[in-house]
Structure 1
Amino acid sequence: MTEFLVSTGAMSALMCLLLAVFLLGSSGRLTRSNRYLAGFLILTGIDLVGLVGLILPVSVADGLAYRVPLAFFQMPFFYAYIVTVCLPGRQLKPHFAVALAVWAVVMMDMILRTGGWFPFWAEVALQVQFYGYLALSALALVRFQRALKQSRSASQSMQLRWLWSVIAVSFAAHALVLVRLIAVWQAWPVSWSALQLANGLLALGILCGLTLTALLRPDLFQALDPEDAAPPRSTLRPDAQEILAKRLRQYLATHRPYLEPELTLKALARRLGAGERDLSHVLNHHLGQHFFDFINAARIAHAMQLIREDGARLKTLIDIAYASGFNSKSSFNTAFKKHAGQTPSAFRSSQNPD
């Protein structure tokens, strides 16, 4: 068991390092996010090196204990990765400053008081930090989704599902770590080596999957540009709002811009010759809809018309989805049920009972 545990730790740490080096050498619009992800991987690799200490001399293994306080930097790097994908303008320095302060205090405690042992209070603080940063990461995604609804007609559901899955998997994986720690604290009759091995294998699988996905599917990590965020409040008078709302309806009826899958609030405002914040205010307050829902309502109306006309069912529902401006079947089904009150298949059956 010990040899297998050491081998797992060594392979996991090496994989983290190799993937981190690759990320640090990459370039492009996600360079900043890749660096934070690389930092998280390096710190995770350092943590996994502790498993190798099982076969090292006692003096060397004791020295490895001083790597443990570095774990306080892991979740700030994880959070920074999520935030720079979703909200690039967020200030992150305070998070790292706090982590540095806690690391310094824990190191002093280990050197002067506990003789190289990671103190119990620090272990508790580390667990609190982990779940706190998971909550902050989830909040960043919620804000990202709100901004998308204000400015974009495409849901980017694939990107959002991926980021939510990263948070969910991290939460589930850490539950095993927490079980191992509780087992040690409460002296449960379980195998410490087996739990450590499970942790190592799970960490290896998660980190490899996350990093390889980031490298092979960069489209899952499209950042929301700062200028696409919800614009500030408009100063349009009520009569001017009514005029702009009328122009908007006329433009949609004549030019059907909703058929463009990547239509944005900024692009539509430019075509109308209106300010982005004015158009956003008219949509949100005068018409009572986010840009995302307003455009999707027009798309669903168009799709319903196509279904009514397709009496012989020559078109598939996915063809109708694409022809209506949607870029995926899942987003089409979700929007159709929301705006039509039933699924596309049910609507088609009601229109063509035979």
Structure 2
Amino acid sequence: MINTISSITIFVSLFIAFYLLTVRTKTKVSNYLFSIFLILIAIDTSGIIFEKINSKSYNLIIFRSTFSFLQIPVLYLYIKSVSYSDFKLKPKHLIHFAPFVLGNLLFFPRFYLVDTVDKINFLQQYKHMFEIQLNHVIFHLQFIYYIIIFLTLRKVKKIYLENYSGVSIKTYDWLFKFTATLSFIYIIALLKNIIKFSQFDIVSTYFKIGIHLLIFLLICWYLYKALNNPELFKQIDSTLKLIKNSIPQQQPNKEVLIHEQENIEKLRNYMKEQQSFLNPSLTIQNVSDEIEIPVKELSLLINHKLNQHFYDFVNSYRINYAKNLLSDSTQNKRTVLEILYDSGFNSKSSFNTAFKKETGTTPTSYRKNLIINT
């Protein structure tokens, strides 16, 4: 059973990796990194099959096992690449591959450099070998360290909310779920490895079957998302900072307060008169250019003074516009889908979520209630 699952997982992983490496796209770095991640998954999954085919390639057996050290760093770099539009691979990123190098160096004295007999003895006694145990410890310490992946996603999502108004926010939620699911699989792998070195090592085999099945389902999930969302991410500029880092420490004086209030009125009048919120790709930079208020100052006004993210600020105008269309008797023949597009949304799910957040009900229910009450 495990061989069947492993074979299917390897095939699907390599197939998607090949597609990502050959498809024409603007996000080449992201595609390359995720294809490398999938290839690493395939290598890791191939353990049992590889050992049967190459049972006498002892160095390759151990070397293959150390590729697991590369999975999380590559995933981290992938997330950085899809999050930031100006991301570039740099020499400093090589530091992320230090555990892989260290893991291999540990095997040189008593495995890579010894004769075949000693290698066989080493593998037969692998449970008690210090190098094997230390490699497992390093891998799981590495996993704990890369909790920063979640912090990166959280920061990027917040920056997006403060500067953009598009539907792409959903993609960060999905990527967070994808990473959380993968982390759950790594936790199961940790339990498997603990059991593997105990007297109940047979149980670890069932854990391995479960892990391979979950990885297969995870890859299929990614494929499904990629096919349904070809433009998966709207990347942000890495130079953008969280607004909390720009809030002045001192209390503003009377002149500053008057100036802020004037700019707020200027902003509200612009949104009402120009209806720029109907642009589904509206950014805070667009608004800044139109009303001639610096982005940093405008961001402070919306996020700090109005206590709203730019994303929610724009959506509030879109929802009010949609409510007017839904309550207009001359628009009764128009579908909710048509109305959401005319209101500046480009996703049914994001429209329903924002509408329910604002009104406490769905657009369809809102329209039905209006009809009943008239």
TM-score by length of 2: 0.79
Unaligned runs of 5+ in 1: none
Match of 1:299 in 2: 318
Match of 1:218 in 2: 230
* Cα shift at 1:76: 0.3
* Cα shift at 1:265: 0.8
Q: Deviations over 1:134-162 (max 9, x none)?
A: x3222222112111111111242442243
1:80 matched to 2:93? The reply is no
8 Å contact from structure 2 (residues 86, 238) kept in 1: yes
Match of 1:99 in 2: 97
Q: 1:285 aligns with which of 279, 304, 325?
A: 304
Match of 1:249 in 2: 268
Match of 2:42 in 1: 45
Q: Which moved more, 1:227-236 or 1:335-344?
A: 227-236
Q: Distance in 1 between matches of 2:166 and 2:319?
A: 14
8 Å contact from structure 2 (residues 73, 96) kept in 1: no
Q: Which moved more, 1:60-69 or 1:10-19?
A: 10-19
Change (3 A) 1:328 1:273: same
Match of 1:120 in 2: 133
Q: 2:356 aligns with which of 331, 337, 341?
A: 337
8 Å contact from structure 2 (residues 288, 295) kept in 1: yes
The count of aligned residue pairs is 349
Q: Distance in 2 between matches of 1:88 and 1:262?
A: 16
8 Å contact from structure 2 (residues 5, 212) kept in 1: yes
Match of 1:173 in 2: 185
Match of 2:165 in 1: 153
8 Å contact from structure 1 (residues 311, 352) kept in 2: no
Match of 1:129 in 2: 142
Change (3 A) 1:280 1:113: same
RMSD: 3.3
8 Å contact from structure 1 (residues 159, 220) kept in 2: yes
1:182 matched to 2:180? The reply is no
Q: 2:65 aligns with which of 68, 80, 84?
A: 68
Q: Which amino acid aligns with 1:60?
A: S
Q: Distance in 2 between matches of 1:282 and 1:195?
A: 52
8 Å contact from structure 1 (residues 214, 221) kept in 2: no
* Cα shift at 1:107: 2.3
1:269 matched to 2:288? The reply is yes
* Cα shift at 1:98: 4.5
8 Å contact from structure 1 (residues 259, 324) kept in 2: yes
Q: Which amino acid aligns with 2:237?
A: D
Q: Distance in 2 between matches of 1:51 and 1:317?
A: 53
Q: Deviations over 1:253-291 (max 9, x none)?
A: 212111221111111111113322222222223333221
Q: Distance in 2 between matches of 1:205 and 1:341?
A: 35
* Cα shift at 1:123: 0.7
Q: Which amino acid aligns with 2:49?
A: V
8 Å contact from structure 1 (residues 158, 220) kept in 2: no
* Cα shift at 1:215: 6.7
Q: Which moved more, 1:7-16 or 1:257-266?
A: 7-16
Change (3 A) 1:353 1:10: closer
8 Å contact from structure 1 (residues 234, 277) kept in 2: no
Q: Deviations over 1:33-54 (max 9, x none)?
A: 1121122123223223322244
Q: 1:111 aligns with which of 102, 108, 113?
A: 108
SS in 2 for 1:262: coil
- State the percentage of identical aligned residues: 26
8 Å contact from structure 1 (residues 87, 140) kept in 2: no
Q: Distance in 2 between matches of 1:347 and 1:22?
A: 44
8 Å contact from structure 2 (residues 165, 310) kept in 1: yes
8 Å contact from structure 2 (residues 340, 348) kept in 1: yes
Match of 1:308 in 2: 327
Q: Which moved more, 1:183-192 or 1:77-86?
A: 183-192
TM-score by length of 1: 0.83
Unaligned runs of 5+ in 2: 112-121, 249-254
8 Å contact from structure 1 (residues 87, 223) kept in 2: yes
